[in-house]
Amino acid sequence: MRYVFITGTTGGLGASLLGAFRDDRIISITRRKVQTDIGLYREFHVDFLDEGTLEEEIMDIFGSIDPDAGDEIFLINNAGAVGPVKSVENMDAKGYLDNYKVNVLAPALFIKGFIRAFKPLDAQKKILTVSSGAALSPMEGWAAYCTSKAAVNMLSGVTRAETADFNPPVLSSTFRPGVIDTGMQKTIRESDPKEFPNIDKFKNYKSEDRLLDPDFVASILKEIIASDDFAEVANYDIADYM
Ligand SMILES: NC(=O)c1ccc[n+]([C@@H]2O[C@H](COP(=O)([O-])OP(=O)(O)OC[C@H]3O[C@@H](n4cnc5c(N)ncnc54)[C@H](OP(=O)(O)O)[C@@H]3O)[C@@H](O)[C@H]2O)c1
């Protein structure tokens, strides 16, 4: 049996991940009800901006399955937010905090809950956190986003260091999915050009049909996390699969 915990499945890459794992037992964690014809095994609703409630619900979420030895359990930290898109000069504290709650704190709490719930179980336990090229390359207007994705790279790195001696193992890596045709790209194209000087580059990605299909990206993510040598690479990049 394979259990797959996926965050942010209301649209974009997360909705495509539902399709990719449709034959498995999917536990979806979102702030809104998911509109899908795919049978969800369990569904939890929590706004990641409400970190107190998220922290309270984490063990209920991971305690909602009863896996056996030999099962596979995946956690895919997919939910994310690009905004606020503002220069460092104009960004306020709430803007940073809201972004970090969704992009950094929520994945950290999910990883904690996953380890606590399943550490002793003799199952295949794998965590893949969706990162971004923005973790490695500065982009004007994306101070919150770039720093948040750099943070999850390090969050996964620390997790790897702390779990290296676990027996049975808990494996963790990150994934840079490329530029995908999702709601997040629409948000980017609708940014204030004064705050986001690169806006034309992203408008051109769309008009020139250069955005990746989220179903394709989901299929690559599945290939990576399901592989027998998962986590031999610390930070996966979709460019290596195209
Ligand atoms: N699209 C790209 O080009 C691109 C590139 C590199 C990396 N990524 C990464 O890929 C992942 C998926 O992005 P996407 O493009 O599919 O974005 P998307 O279409 O905007 O979807 C984001 C998902 O995150 C959820 N989310 C946002 N804020 C939340 C909150 N406060 N509480 C709970 N859930 C929340 C959204 O739920 P709601 O529907 O409720 O808002 C949605 O399900 C993200 O981690 C993103 O950073 C995307």
What are the residue ranges spanned by the domains of the chain? 2-179+214-241
Separation of CA 12 and ligand 1 centre (Å): 7
Dihedral class, residue 209 (left if φ above 0, else alpha if ψ from -120 to 50, else beta): left
Give the position, in ligand 1's atom list, of the atom nearest the Cα of 49.
31
Which helix (H) or strand (E) segment holds residue 94: the answer is: helix 93-100
Question: Rounded distance, CA 7 to CA 186, Å?
Answer: 20
The verdict on the CB of residue 47 being under 6 Å from ligand 1 is yes
pTM of the model: 0.98
pLDDT of residue 140: 98
Tens digit of each residue's pLDDT, the chain (242 residues): 999 999 999 999 999 999 999 999 999 999 999 999 999 999 999 999 999 999 999 999 999 999 999 999 999 999 999 999 999 999 999 999 999 999 999 999 999 999 999 999 999 999 999 999 999 999 999 999 999 999 999 999 999 999 999 999 999 999 999 999 999 999 999 999 999 999 999 999 999 999 999 999 999 999 999 999 999 999 999 999 99
Separation of CA 101 and ligand 1 centre (Å): 13
Active site residue 241: no
Q: Which of 3, 145, 205, 236 is catalytic?
A: 145
pLDDT of residue 163: 97
CATH of domain 2-179+214-241: 3.40.50.720
Q: Are 134 and 146 in contact (CB under 8 A)?
A: yes
The verdict on the CB of residue 8 being under 6 Å from ligand 1 is yes
The verdict on the CB of residue 81 being under 6 Å from ligand 1 is yes
Separation of CA 231 and ligand 1 centre (Å): 23
pLDDT of residue 210: 98
> Judging by beta carbons within 10 Å of its beta carbon (0-12, 13-18, 19+), is residue 118 exposed, middle or buried?
buried
Separation of CA 233 and ligand 1 centre (Å): 24
pLDDT of residue 188: 98
Residue 238: partners with Cβ closer than 8 Å, 6 or more residues away:
175, 176, 177, 178, 212, 217, 220
Question: How far is residue 76 from each of residues 5, 12, 203, measured CA to CA in Å?
Answer: 6, 14, 29
